[in-house]
């Protein structure tokens, strides 16, 4: 079980309509400061198809840069299809869609 595997395992558990930030995943894996490593791990994304990297966004709710899935617009459509709300700024409504495994529910 490597740090990398933890990231994939964590991200894979993200339900539809929910999103998590790199820092959140990093915190779960060990140190919240490892957010960079998390991003790098997802960048390789060896489990592409099993790991919904598109559900992983910034703390601001903004999508990751240099999106590799085909474009931010595509990711937005994909997330919207899953039930994730978006703001006028084009960011994810993390206020409602931030995934909290411990509580199993989003912030009201």
Residue 53 falls in the annotated catalytic set: yes
Q: Does 47 bind DNA (CB under 7 A)?
A: no
Per-residue binding string, DNA, 62-101, x by CB under 7 A, is --xxxxx---------------------------------
Q: Looking at 27-35, 80-88, 93-101, which segment touches DNA (CB under 7 A)?
A: 27-35
Residue 69 CB, shortest distance to DNA, in Å, is 7
Q: Does 43 bind DNA (CB under 7 A)?
A: yes
Quote the CA–CA distance of 96 and 29 in Å, as a whole number. 23
Per the structure block, which two tokens stand in for 105?
């529910």
SS in 3 state form for 61-94? CCCCCCCCCCCHHHHHHHHHHHCCCECCCCCECH
């Amino acid at each position: 079980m490597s740090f990398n595997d933890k990231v994939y395992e964590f991200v894979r558990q993200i339900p539809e309509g929910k999103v998590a930030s790199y820092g959140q995943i990093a915190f779960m894996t060990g140190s919240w400061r490892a957010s960079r490593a998390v991003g790098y791990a997802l960048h390789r994304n060896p489990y592409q198809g099993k790991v919904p990297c598109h559900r992983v966004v910034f703390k601001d709710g903004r999508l990751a840069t240099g999106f590799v899935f085909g474009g931010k617009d595509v990711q937005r459509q994909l997330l919207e299809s899953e039930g994730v709300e978006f703001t006028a700024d084009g960011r994810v409504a993390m206020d409602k869609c931030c995934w909290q495994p411990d509580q199993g529910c989003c912030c009201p």
